[in-house]
Amino acid sequence: MGKFIYFTEAQKERAANVDLESFLCQRGEKLLPSGRDKRLARDYSVTVRGCEWFDHASRQGGRAVSFVQRFYDLSYPEAVSLLLDGQQGQAYPAVTHQEEPPRKPFVLPEANPNMRRVFAYLVKQRHIDRQVVAHFAKAKTLIEDSKYHNCVFVGTDEQAVPRHAHKRSTNSYGKAFRQNVEGSDPRYSFHHLGSDRELYVFEAPIDMLSFITMYPEDWTAHSYVACCGTSGLPVLHLLSQIPQVREVFLCLDSDEAGQVACQRMAEQITEQSGLVSQRLCPQLKDWNDDLRAWAETHARSMEMGGLR
């Protein structure tokens, strides 16, 4: 039996309110940005904000003490002691409760009069079918940002009013720029509504367009959504709006983050709608990688055929 340690209620509360981001950083853990939260690099399903944590895979969460118990395999007294003692003689800071600034209103970026750069980027560099790009351009759910010439993938509400926009740079070199426009409503990410029973779910808009390019038969009859990340909120909202859907295909990336997100989404979908989703996994990391590999192979075979 472990040694009994007496803690006052004030000590227990102080330990529970330790700022988890500071705690984890001081212990050498790597954290990744995830909206207003931070995601644990060694376990993508876990996010922290202030003194609170949540495991999206197991759907469990709590405050700092339970986090330390769970992820460092400590008893309650050991976890409280660790949080109170701090690191190298310095106490772990407590979370400061501040009012969040008011959310800025959503403003869609001004559209460029032509879309030459977006078409050139998506068709020539990403190998997406020109007619597929044209379909979304005509629907005004794909525009070119007039200031920076980014691809802007627009999500609309039930009245076709833009509520969400995801920007993606068209530069060929250097680090790609990806960002949701401030004020975007996460329920309304980039999507296409069809009339049949099938819904296909992706992380990125370019992966969605790549999949349609590779599997074009009757594509407009199906429904598609790009979550612009790994949140299941756009999927759950879409399912509440299109009750005819009976088959959900989770087409997220093949990496660890995609696998974890698929498991989490599958549980959320079953819990909300009773549907059992299916996993469609790209052969490479994502569907655009698959499309570009196919395009390169096809080009080489055409060259070889021309030499014969």
| 10-residue averages of pLDDT along the chain (308 residues) | 71 90 89 83 83 77 90 90 70 65 84 96 97 98 96 97 95 76 92 97 97 98 94 91 95 90 90 93 97 90 64
**Sheet with 223-226, side-by-side order of all strands:** 191-192, 223-226, 198-202, 247-250, 278-279
For residue 238, the model assigns a pLDDT of: 94
Backbone angles phi, psi at 97, to 5 degrees: -85, 110
Residue 260 and residue 106: Cα distance in Å, rounded?
Answer: 30
For residue 58, the model assigns a pLDDT of: 65
**What residue ranges define each of the domains in the chain, with the CATH number in brackets?**
9-85 (3.90.580.10), 116-302 (3.40.1360.10)
pTM above 0.75, yes or no: no
For residue 88, the model assigns a pLDDT of: 47
CB 118 within 8 A of CB 203: no
Strands (E), 71-196: 142-144, 151-156, 162-168, 178-180, 191-192
